[in-house]
Structure formats: structure tokens, C-alpha cells
Amino acid sequence: MSEKVQLSVDFGTTFVAIQKLRREMQKFVRENSRDYASELEVEIMDAKGLDKLLLQIIIKHKSNWQNDALKAHRRNKVASLHHQFRGHRLT
């Protein structure tokens, strides 16, 4: 199982800034290693109207989602992380 987070960032966002975001996400995964696997993907999905880039971050879970309380807890962690980076200028 995995969690996908999409972020819309400025079209002028540099590769260096995207790599910095990747490192911050890897830190999050390491700090929450009980819940998430160390594998992480950050990819550019789309260039929207040449003023925004759509990034997709895929975080893999270590176990399945049979436990609804655990599922909600993990989704809340990722949602709070998404909120943290939302509107975060990466350039």
C-alpha cells in the first residue's frame, strides 16, 4: 500500500528545490519508520498552464490497512505533512 500526495508548485521551481523537498520527505519517512518503508518517490506529473508544476510524492506503508484506526492515523500524518508543504514556495 502507498499514500500519494500531490503538490502544485511554481513553474520556476528548480531541480535543487525539488531535491530538497525529497530530502525533507525522506527525513519524515525515517522519523516514522515504524509506519512507512524507506522507499519514496517524488516525480513531476504535469506542467499546468506553464505557471505550475504538479509534483506527486508516493510514500509506501510497511503493513496493510486492515486496522482502520491505524489507517486513519497514517493518513492524518501524511495529510498534515501535505498541509505543511502546501503553498510552500520551493524556488
Instruction: Report the percent of the chain where pLDDT is more than 70.
Output: 87
Report the DSSP beta bridge partners of residue 36. Answer: 61
How large is the average pLDDT for residues 64-84?
76
Q: What is the pLDDT of residue 89?
A: 55
Give the predicted TM-score (pTM) of the model. 0.76
Which residues have a Cβ under 8 Å from the Cβ of 18 and sit 6 or more positions away? 42, 44, 55, 90
Of 89, 11, 15, 3, the C-alpha closest to 52 is 11
| 1 vs 85 pLDDT, higher one | 1
Binned at pLDDT 50, 70 and 90, residue 43 comes out as very high
